[in-house]
């Protein structure tokens, strides 16, 4: 019996002793229990009420800004993707964003282009 065959037999015997299929036994040894608990805890918790409220306020401010300047929402989104607001963006960025959106770019792609061009 080779060394690897001996290890496999020991693994199977331990899995049988615990009453687990071999694959479950292997998985229990492959991943740290603490890591699994962290993943489950993160997925169960979800965002806090404060995080949700902050996201709602941020979206309302973004929509109000778009309405105040009569700038299309896609243009405001493109500028936000570039890391600016319509109030603090460099001169010419709104016009460039409008042109890029008019050419058919998505707000994300237009924002990436603006980021490169105005940094």
Over the chain, what is the mean pLDDT? 87
Residue 74 structure tokens: 């896609």
Which is more confident, 107 or 1? 107
Q: What predicted TM-score, i.e. pTM, was given to this entire model? A: 0.44
pLDDT of residue 69: 65
Q: Give the whole-angstrom CA distance, residue 39 versus residue 1.
A: 40
Q: How confident is the model at residue 68 (pLDDT cuts 50, 70, 90)?
A: low
64: region left, alpha or beta (phi > 0 left; psi from -120 to 50 alpha): alpha
Each domain of the chain, given as residue ranges in start order, spans: 3-45, 69-118
pLDDT of residue 30: 83
Q: Please state which of the ranges 43-47, 57-61, 73-77, 101-105 shows the lowest mean pLDDT.
A: 43-47
């Amino acid at each position: 019996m080779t060394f690897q065959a001996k290890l496999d037999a020991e693994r199977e015997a331990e899995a049988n002793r615990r009453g687990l299929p071999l694959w479950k036994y292997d998985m229990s040894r492959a991943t740290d229990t603490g890591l699994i608990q962290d993943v489950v805890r993160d997925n169960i918790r979800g965002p806090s009420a404060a995080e949700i409220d902050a996201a709602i306020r941020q979206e309302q401010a973004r929509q109000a800004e778009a309405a105040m300047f009569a700038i299309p929402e896609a243009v405001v989104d493109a500028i936000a993707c570039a890391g600016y607001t319509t109030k603090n963006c460099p001169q010419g960025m709104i016009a460039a964003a409008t042109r890029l959106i008019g050419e058919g770019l998505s707000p994300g792609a237009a924002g990436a282009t603006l980021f490169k061009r105005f940094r």
